[in-house]
Structure 1
């Protein structure tokens, strides 16, 4: 778990906010009570990230490393929230590893700063605008979305030195967004990123989700399945298996 906590801090991944608790004392009645301060802050924010350092040059001390992650932070007006992350890491010593976490939290807000704790690690975010947060540790930005569900497909291939991060965001109503981020590493150069994003509408049943691409009208259907033992939901499209955050 210590490695997860370390990688969680590195990935940042997330933004978070505030609720406070304050004590009010009535001197006349010599009575006191504690109430939750409603900051009025709320929203769902997400970050999609790829790190690719799969460099293998003789004489280098750095261990070939790559990471893909999708993080979602949900803030509620009552000062509570939920943090979710799906992450894959690779290094030449430990191979490929996956980390998944869903944890509820209480947050505090001081000015434009939001704080909460996940896995005993403090996370601090700055409110840049109503639509964007920035994580203090790694300066990654989190975008706000009207999100119902997020599905993520992560893959790291050490042989081709490629890290792939594909995300499907189901919005309120019937709108969906596909976000693909791929990083290929060429020895002697910085990782190169290619992104492909598109929007669609979707229809969901208990067993399938059918997407209709806005620009072409092309339809794609994925199959839903549930791992009862671990409580995880998957969306399979072709050979790709997406995990629901």
Structure 2
């Protein structure tokens, strides 16, 4: 059948690659406020264009206090704002626990990540396929302003949806079903950005009757960011708050 009179033929536009599977989850996670309790000091030092270290001191009244050291090395091949190969990450806490991972580009379409398990990723023109040994993943889809992701495993399923309304407002929704515990949880988060005031506010509301928020304020021209957070669980009558200072 021909096109209706007066209508231009519709062209199929390529959607483009949705990005790394880990990055799809990260977009939704960053909308939610990080849990804060006690006082935290974070100092980041860039030693060169390839090497960066971070010192974190956390003093808590509910959980253990301690020190954490993180080192990051990035290579010369940059494919995007958050994709640089090879990348080496190391993290050690005051108890001596060490975590490390390496990310490397094996070819034009194949990326590999080694932690304590192996992840393989094939990057096509408009799709991404990820294989994690022992943890099958399924990818839903994405667009420039929204991302939907689904993980299915033996223990249940985890779905997330991220939407960027504009430069100031971002929202995220997470739904997790645990077949072992026979329960499901739902969480809604939002992020408000005020560029002129150098202020970012993150808030959350979940199905466990928890509400919380974190307010971040940058102090230009100083490389210092102050953050104040508070969280309340109505069902369990629990309340905790925290304060952090980030330098670098």
TM-score over 0.5 for the pair: no
TM-score by length of 2: 0.28
TM-score by length of 1: 0.28
